[in-house]
Structure 1
Amino acid sequence: MRRIVLASLVVAAAALGWNLAAGRAAAQGAPAQGKAAAPAPLPIANPAEEVASVAYNGATEKVTKGEVFNIITRYPIPPTEDREQVYRDAVDTLVNTKLVTQFLNRQRIVIKPEQVQEEIGKLEQGLKAEGKDLATSLLENGFSLDEIKKEIEDRLRWIEYVKAKATDAELKKFLAEHKDLFSGTKVRASHILLKTEASASEADKAKVKQQLVAVKKLIDDGKMTFAQAANKYSQDPANEGGAGGDLDFFNLNSGFIPEFTDVAFKLKKGSISEPVETPYGYHLIQVTDRQEGKLPDFEQNKPYITSAYAAELQKNLLMEARKAAKIDVKPLPKDLFPNLPAQAPATAPAPAATPAQKAATPAQKAAPKAK
């Protein structure tokens, strides 16, 4: 199951091969000759239909079905995928994008047209290496040239904002506060998952949480080991073989979702967490081993440190914005997943995400999967 956790400031450009982490274009076709063609119509009804709205700081913006469709079709969707969760994750990404864009608007960061055109030129040069042109790539991906320019402008504004914040003193402080991330320290952990549905009420979530509290008491009272409890109660399909909930060693760049790793890396060896909520339910986490790493040289790793710092800036920005914003998400449109096989019964994933989460960029995405 995919999960998109941060904003995607350059969804359109990313679809054309934009290298956000490096802040430069990557190639997928040849330069356009003249004006780019209009985007191809989307194979869904009413792409302008509002599926969500976000009201923040006096402004209200809508998320359209077409925008969601453009995100979910960038990635293969297996028949077992929980499409309700895919839909909500895509909407979350678009909401985050709009919140970050509104934030950048208030910063009054000016990007000159020639700066945007320079980036378009880089994109065209990259596309040329693959034998396509920008007009064709825009048409195939359902984007207009104006959309690409706007999203490039937003990316450049984000880069300027980060540059102003990321002084050497600030980056060194960030490095010191995130030793586990940069040193490559690993923990070995086990978990017990009791899943909740995306649409679960707070009352339903509370019941699941209390069930997990009862499981923890059985372990604390010595009535069963953590591994025995995991084999008996955990709803993680990756544990079906009786692995005792073991997830093996992982570091903070392994792609596990942050709600999980934030707790795991703070636990002492042998200790068990209280119930931890993630998008998939509630977990008990036990750390069974830890391997300390070594901090890297600051100057040699400054670009990576800056990238991680930028991701943290955006995460904190979004946490505060979402607290104040009013977000209304409508039910999943029935025709949002055309031409896909019938969906098999959904299963609960492990708390892991693909390595896409490693990229600390203004368009960071994460996609959980079973380990």
Structure 2
Amino acid sequence: MSPLSLRHRLLIVVWALAASGCVYTPPAPEPGQDPRETVMIVNGLPITRLQLEEEIDAVLAEAPPGIEERELHEKAPLIRDEALRRLIFDRIIEAAVAEHGIEVSEAEVDDEIRTIAEYLTAHGRTLPDAMREMGDTTHTLRMAIRRQLTEIKLWDKLLNLQPPTEEELRAYYQAHREWYVEPDAVLIYQIVKFRPEGDDSADADERLRSEMALLRNRWLAGEDFTELARRYSDGAHAAQGGKIGWITADVNLPAEVVEAAFTQQVNQVGEVVQSPMGYHLVWVAARRPRKQLSFEEARPVVEDHFSHERRREPVIQLYEKMRQEATIALAGLPPAFRRDARS
């Protein structure tokens, strides 16, 4: 787990706190409503109807796969509520950052990216691979890091917390050694052929299976797997020679592919694997056994865990105080919605 993902947990804590209060949300936008219309003002900072709609889209994007449209429709008020809570959180933090003169330099963002890249490299992964898996770009990554560093600086300034001592970190590591274990992992590449949309016939399945069997025979005859993947794979990783990267057993891949990856021998391509997605050939390029990380190896994560736990309760209490003291005004809404958003 990267330092970035650990620090992001601090934001989740505060969002969970914000969700504990009742917030009156505007109704779904009517046709002809101006997206630039202000629906709420928080500490002097506006929230427009467009921003609310975009945040609703962001919440919807986090819905678990396979959730039915009917269920989403039933949860629409809760989804709008969550979107508005997040926007209120953003505006409260934005106002506090401006008030206290919190700034994050480009050099600080660069240092954080370097730390993340070094951590990933030390654990058999690369930053570009991780970004591709998350669908991230350099711009969005830098924005996320800047935001998180800004908030960490804000909390540290307001709470006046001192950096942890070496003794505190080592004691924390010893108390939670079971957290700092690298699980079994394999480095895999794949060639995948997706089922044609709308064609689930037995003939289509047999054709794809035959194509994949021929590709496996070409690999057995000495052809390069990565070149075959570039030419024939339907997957998003085709341009990288089919490289998925280092995976653990809990990776978000079809169960059939994961099982093949962890049962095949290194430097082997197993039999054709069928999954709900289609047909796969999996090449296991390397294997890394389970390993207990030393304190020095785990130090970046230990620091984040320790800091997260130490901040947690003070941050919750401080944000609750900031939320209660915030000036929140609803605008452009029917009278029935004009109530105190802090209630």
TM-score above 0.5: no
Structure with larger Rg = 2
TM class by shorter chain equals 0.3 to 0.5
| TM-score, with length taken from structure 1 | 0.34
| TM-score, with length taken from structure 2 | 0.36
